Amino acid sequence: MNPKIQKGALITIIVLLVIFVPLSAAGIYFKILDATTEPPAPENTGKLFYFDNKLWFYDENETLLGTYECENTICGYASSTVTDSSYGINYHQTETGRAIPMFNNRFALIRDTNDLTDTSTFLFDITNNLAYKDSMYTSVNDYSVGIVDNLIIAVNESNKYGIIELDDDFTVAIPFNYDFIGLKDDTDENGELIADYFITLQNGVWHIIDRNEAVLTEDIHEPIIDYTGTYIITQVNAEIYHLVDYNNTPVVNTNFKRLSFTDRYVNCFTQDNYFYVYDPANNEIISDTYEVTDEDEVITAIDTNNRLAISINGNVRETINLS
């Protein structure tokens, strides 16, 4: 072969090696880089609450506020737990408990566990992506309709009751010093429970307190099941009720079989199976007296004309004009 041709071929081979060897190395590099790069996270196009092992929080305009990364298989909003029935309190009853929703597009109460029996709950700050897992609650309660001012009755890990407020910020409205806190069934125009006063149990003593934790009653040693601004119904057992004032002074020295309020009036069921309506402010019975059994359904209600109607088993027996 001609030496010039050999020299030209050698130069050509060298040039091709200079061009293609770096390109091959670059190809290998980019292939490896592509294999080690994580694929993009799937998009929650359906705006589901639980998606891709996360909780997704949206406002009323379906704008994403934030997400929470679930750590366990049972993950979502905490459910409202009501314990008032243990004490016979006249509380707001619903057919089923509900998950407690998000508050002010800022806070959520979350349950994240692998144990169906574990009701532990913690507060999650959606805006700041903070999970307050150092302050766990064994139960939380908004009576499934909500409490005014975004209040929640909660029980901490020491089994003490307190009240938290989830408004623009997270605050402890009433410290966790109580053995029980409950609310009577009294709702506002929005269907939320009015929370001016609370029924409390502490060290075996019952009180009514206000939002500032001021005690409004003397010590009461029987469970408080209902109250007005002046009078209180207490329950000794399933068939003994008492009517007292805020000083724990008996209004009537009688063991009633059952008592309840309709506005400021008291529905009285006696031990010998009679029923009447009593006005404690004027110390007088304002209705006729009816013989009833435990199976009879007795309903009293005040209409828009300020008349109190008494119905027994669906039949109106009396209508009373109230002063």
pLDDT, tens only, 27-60? 434 444 454 556 666 889 999 999 999 999 999 9
pLDDT at 38: 61
Q: Tell me the helices (H) and strands (E) count for the chain, helix number first.
A: 1, 24
The DSSP bridge partners found for residue 227 are: 232
Where is pLDDT greater, at 323 or 22? 323
In the DSSP assignment, the letter for residue 96 is: S
- 83, 145, 154, 256, 301 from 86: Cα distances, Å: 6, 20, 16, 20, 27
Are 47 and 62 in contact by the 8 Å Cβ rule? The answer is: yes
In the chain, what percentage of residues exceed pLDDT 90?
83
The DSSP bridge partners found for residue 237 are: 240
Tokens of 10: 């050698």
pLDDT mean over 131-139 = 95
Alpha-carbon span 157 to 120, nearest angstrom: 9
User: Does residue 12 register a pLDDT over 70?
Assistant: no
In the chain, what percentage of residues exceed pLDDT 70?
87
- 26, 70, 314 from 106: Cα distances, Å: 48, 18, 47
pLDDT mean over 228-241 = 95
CA-based R_g, the chain, Å = 34
User: Does residue 292 register a pLDDT over 50?
Assistant: yes
Summarised one tens digit per residue, pLDDT across range 161-211 is 999 999 888 999 999 999 999 999 999 999 999 999 999 999 999 999 999
pLDDT at 153: 98
Angle at 85 between CA 248 and CA 247, to 5 degrees: 5
Tokens of 18: 């200079």
| CB-based contacts of 191, cutoff 8 Å, min separation 6 | 145, 146
pLDDT at 50: 97
Q: 153: closest CA among 182, 132, 120?
A: 182
Angle at 162 between CA 205 and CA 95, to 5 degrees: 95
pLDDT at 37: 59
Alpha-carbon span 200 to 180, nearest angstrom: 6
pLDDT at 112: 97
Type of residue at 37 = T
Are 51 and 44 in contact by the 8 Å Cβ rule? The answer is: yes
What is the pLDDT confidence band of residue 75, given thresholds at 50, 70 and 90?
very high
What is the enclosing helix (H) or strand (E) of 8? helix 3-36
pLDDT at 94: 85
Average pLDDT, the chain: 89
CA dihedral defined by 307, 311, 316, 318, rounded to 10 degrees? -50
pLDDT mean over 286-293 = 97
Type of residue at 141 = N
